[in-house]
Structure 1
Amino acid sequence: MTDRLRARGVLHLVVGPSGVGKDALIDRARVARPDILFPRRWITRSADAGGEAHVAVAPEAFEAMAAAGDFALHWRAHGLAYGVPRAMADALGAGRHVVLNASRAAVAQARAQFQPVRVLLVAAPPEALARRIAARGRETEAEARARLDRAPPPPTGPDVRTIDNGGALDDAAAAFLAALAPPVDPEPEAGQSRSRLMEERS
């Protein structure tokens, strides 16, 4: 049993406010670490809403999937529902690391269900965040600042690693990659092929 626990993959939760550059860092990691699973999220917003590539799902269908246990993890934030397919749990159990673009609302649930967990808190100065959000064209810089002021406090704890993305992206990407768990033994375990298949289908 001890050996099995040691073989579990690490769940990396990437969290941080809007405009902080989580997607850019995850994209760098996806290229540098092909051994890691980067699951695509199911979100109750349209596929052409912009932002990350995701699977669009109607609210009623999302609720049915959640009730059926189709998600390894699901939460609500900013008026939307987010879910991650059970392929993530299969991958972790098979010893594969996972990097997930998460929300602060999901941290407590993930800590309770999946261990080991690393919380990668991406941070940048508020003025930089407000400029980045305003550049998207959906909010003015003043509106962005007001939204950032209302944001909940960041997660804390010994599993939190802070990544400063207020400067050069290359520097932040290097820190992000250094915070990831090292590659595990590549020997496949039962369930790994199923996890990969489920992820491709999602």
Structure 2
Amino acid sequence: MNCAARADGARLIYLMGASGSGKDTLLRLMRAQVRAVEPVLVAHRYITRDSSGTEDALRLTPDEFSRRAALGCFALHWASHGLHYGIGVEIDAWLRYGAAVIVNGSRAHLEQAHARYPDMTAVEVSVEPSLLAQRLAGRGRESASQISDRLTRAIQAFPVPERCGLMRVSNNGAPETAAAELLHIARATLAHGTPGA
């Protein structure tokens, strides 16, 4: 990860969850609930694969991704499942301008994100394993063995840095409800710096 100049991360929300937990759906529904005057922004991701119609992502070739990483164009970046993911350094400007910024991150790289933004709030989207298995099978991206691997990883514990605020949003029910909860967290950071402050 690029750990160059830091910006105030008190309004940064680092969204995590297992593949198939519905993060992209929640972000899409949440954006529809944001009032026009509210400074709540969702950062798009840069990915070295084609993005689906449900996610807010831009495709880069591996060479272009490496070039941008070397130039410091990413505030956060990581590798997973043979792919590269990045969040643009523009989020630092958005934070300085007073926006609440939500990024679609990775549980495996929470520690690196927290090192750059120690005042951020981490939010994990949780889903019951049986429901997660149905969602993974329904989207048709992975084989049965790949789904099994993803389900195994979904229930594994991940390290949470000391003093890192961690909240959980359940997405077992109506996704609109979980999206409203996520927006409530974003609004709380605008009002108080961090939820519960």
* TM, length-normalised to structure 2: 0.79
Relative to structure 1, the CA distance from residue 50 to residue 80 in structure 2 (aligned partners, 3 Å threshold; closer, same or farther) is farther
Name 1:88's counterpart in structure 2: 91
Contact 1:41 1:55 in 2 (8 A): yes
**Which residue type is aligned with residue 67 of structure 2?**
A
Structure 1 moving runs of 4+ over 4 Å: 140-143
Structure 1 or 2, whichever has the larger Rg, is 1
Q: CA deviation at 1:174?
A: 2.9
Is structure 2 residue 67 aligned with structure 1 residue 100? Answer: no
Residue aligning to 1:123: 126
Question: Are the equivalent residues in 1 in contact too, given 2:40–2:186 (CA < 8 A)?
Answer: no
In the alignment, residue 163 of structure 1 is paired with which amino acid? V
- Residue segments in structure 2 that go unaligned for 5+ positions in a row: 1-7, 192-197
Q: Secondary structure at the match of 1:122?
A: strand
The whole-number CA distance in structure 1 between the counterparts of 2:157 and 2:14 is 16
| Counterpart check, 1:22 vs 2:31 | no
Q: Which residue of 2 aligns with 1:74?
A: 77
Measured in 1, the distance between the counterparts of 2:121 and 2:89 equals 19
Q: Report percent identity of matched pairs.
A: 35
Superposed, which structure 2 residues align to 1:50-199 within 5 Å? 51-139=54-142, 143-151=146-154, 152-156=156-160, 158-182=164-188, 184=190
Question: What's the counterpart of residue 195 of structure 2?
Answer: none
**1:169 corresponds to which letter in structure 2?**
P
1:74–1:83: 8 Å Cα contact kept in structure 2? Answer: yes
Amino acid at match of 1:182: A
Q: For residue 87 of structure 1, report the CA deviation from its aligned partner.
A: 0.7
- Cα deviation, 1:78-127, whole Å, max 9, x if unaligned, reads 21111111110111122211011111133112211124211110001101
Indicate how the Cα distance of structure 1 residues 28 and 46 shifts in structure 2: closer, same or farther if over 3 A, else same: closer
> Which residue of structure 2 lines up, in the alignment, with residue 36 of structure 1?
40
Distance 2:152 2:186 in 1: 29
Q: Distance in 1 between matches of 2:74 and 2:19?
A: 24
Specify the code of the residue in structure 1 equivalent to 2:68.
M
Shifted more, 124-133 versus 174-183: the winner is 174-183
Whether the aligned pair in 1 keeps the contact of 2:16 and 2:105 (CA below 8 Å) is yes
Cα distance in 1 for residues equivalent to 2:31 and 2:139: 24
Which of 47, 50, 57 matches 1:46? 50
- With structure 1 as the length reference, what TM-score do the two structures score? 0.78
Segment drifting more, 8-17 vs 140-149: 140-149
Q: Structure 1: 5+ residue runs without aligned partners?
A: 1-6, 186-202
